[in-house]
A = this chain, B = another copy of it.
Amino acid sequence: MLRAIAHFPIIPHLDFNVTILGSNSAISDHGRHPTAQFIQLHHSYFLIDCGEGTQQRMLQYKVKWFAVNHIFISHLHGDHYFGLIGLLTTYNLLKRTQPLTIFGPPLLQQIIQLQLDASGTKLNYELTFAATSDDDFRLIFENEQTEVYSFPLKHKIPTTGFLVKEKPGERKLNKSKLSQYDIEKEDYKLLKQGIDITAKNGLSVKAADVTDAPHAPRKYAFCSDTIYNEDMLPYIADADLIYHEATYLHESEERAQETRHSTALQAAQIAQKANAKRLIIGHFSSRYHQLSPLLEEAQLIFPNTELALEGTVFKL
């Protein structure tokens, strides 16, 4: 029995979650805070953007904040990164030793380094900066299970979105079909990779006959801040979940254009044209105390829209 378990391990559910830590634009207001999102993809933990007070919200919502090894900053407006230096020094004060990599616009390194120098801080952990560029769709990070791409957004200053993508998983062994063959233990690995093998009795065994296809790799696209921009559609096409900023109602389209932001209707149009499964809207202007009009506007175009309410965990 133990052996059987070893052959057919119970594959743990591989989580892909987005936790909203901040949903307001520009400043904190109406109990809403500046942009930050915590992502779990299998065993990787990411932070996207880090407005002032993000470390407090990570504690509040009990996310695994100390497991974050990669932080992605979309652009250098303060509501997307003023909490970063505080988080980095808090990690240090709490004796972090695990290396940390920050992906963001080139000037971010200088801003952080200047503040570390000013306080005479030498970090206990290795901090690496990887400069992003808003000129193209680029693979900026990958590990065994995950890929992260940056892509250009259109805002007042250089800004990138991020596509967090699961790598295709292995095929799953089909226990009942496999029981018809006598197969070397070592060959299971090949079958899971889709490679045909030969059974002990010399019979040829096709991988497709004894394994099931893995689930389709999931994709999460983070799109903030930006004007309405169809150029990014190829990058975010068929995403399981898109977060798109929706700073204004469409009646304020001119204001959105002027400040290089989007309306709820435009966010919904992007989700629709990208053939996304679901949409989250956020980065709400402080002029909106009530958010339901923004939600209703987006749902008219793209019904499967939800509000980026803080503390909400979106499961892909």
A27 to chain B, nearest CB (A): 5
Contact, CB under 8 Å: A119 / B55: no
Question: Of B83, B110, B157, which is within 8 A of A119 by CB?
Answer: B157
Q: Which of chain B's residues has its CB closest to A110's CB? A: B114
Instruction: Verify B82–A85 contact, CB threshold 8 A.
Output: yes
Residue of B nearest to A75 (CB): B119
- Chain B residues with Cβ below 8 Å from A86 are 52, 78, 82
Q: Chain B: which residue is nearest A117 at the CB level?
A: B107
A78 to B90, CA, bound (A): 9
- Cβ-defined contact, B115 with A26, below 8 A: no
Other-chain residue from B105, B115, B120 in contact with A156 (beta carbon distance below 8 A):
B120
CB within 8 Å for A115 and B111 given contacts A27-B90, A53-B56, A78-B85? yes
CA distance A26 to B119 in the complex (A): 12
A101 CB-CB contact with B under 8 Å:
no
Report chain B residues within 8 Å CB of A108. Answer: 118
Residues 75 to 93 of chain A near chain B (Cβ within 8 Å): 76-78, 82-83, 85-86, 89-90, 93
Residue of B nearest to A25 (CB): B93
With A26-B93, A27-B94, A82-B85 as given contacts, are A118 and B52 in contact (CB-CB < 8 Å)? no
Instruction: Say whether A28 faces chain B, with CB atoms less than 8 Å apart.
Output: yes
- Check B78 against A119 for contact (C-beta < 8 Å): yes
Q: How far is the CA of A94 from the CA of B286 in the complex (A)?
A: 11
Would you give the shortest CB distance from A186 to chain B, in whole angstroms? 51
Beyond A77-B119, A120-B157, 20 additional pairs, beta carbon < 8 A: A26-B93, A27-B55, A27-B94, A28-B55, A28-B56, A52-B55, A53-B53, A53-B56, A76-B118, A76-B119, A78-B89, A82-B82, A82-B86, A82-B89, A105-B118, A111-B111, A111-B115, A111-B118, A118-B157, A119-B157
Give the 7 A-B CB pairs with smallest separation, nearest first. Answer: A76-B118, A52-B86, A107-B118, A82-B86, A53-B53, A78-B89, A27-B90
